[in-house]
Amino acid sequence: MGAGLLSALLGLALVQMTPQGLDLQKMVGFWWEAGVASRENLALKTPRRLEALFLTLSGETLTVTVAYNNSGSCQTEEIVSSEMNVLGKFVFPGRREIHVMDTDYEQYAILRVSLQWQNNEFYVFKYFTRSLGGECEPGFLKFRELTTDMGLYLVGRHGPPLSQQLRETGL
């Protein structure tokens, strides 16, 4: 099976997993990144490692404040969506997209983040929690199931190394 056809089928399977009738108001707030999965090892070894997100919604605009661990110091960036829909797809400048794959709003969210770089599409799956707890939560089990079946790398996050700096920045 050609790579293009396989990618198309994979894309269709992922779209079908998107929660119907996503309640965007329930998605707002603070989310810790607790896991990452990607076919690209490069995506897992970035020097600017994402630690947390703070989502705000104003009318039709989703704003994502991202907190990165940049060599041990906290760096934040604010990104505003240019398009979104209630099925969980958000488009951002720089040809980046976020798809909400699954969430219970209160404990976990599984996102598929896509970006274009050098005429290639890359994507990673990210597992977010409202608080960093045990890995045996139902959301984490779903995340592992989804990523293991696809043969992706998995990197668990343990503990908030930048938690004090995040509090100081007001996130």
Domain ranges of the chain: 27-169
Q: Which residue has the higher pLDDT, 41 or 158?
A: 41
Question: Residue range 26-34: average pLDDT?
Answer: 92
Residue 143 has pLDDT above 70, yes or no: yes
pLDDT of residue 29: 95
Question: Residue range 92-117: average pLDDT?
Answer: 87
b/e map 108-146, b = 16+ CB within 10 Å: bbbbbbbbeeeeeeebbbbbbbeeeeebebebbebbbeb
Kindly report whether the global pTM for this prediction surpasses the value 0.85.
Answer: no
Whose CA is closest to 86, among 100, 75, 72, 76?
A: 100
Q: Which residue has the higher pLDDT, 19 or 85?
A: 85
SS3 144: helix
Write out the CATH class of domain 27-169.
Answer: mainly beta
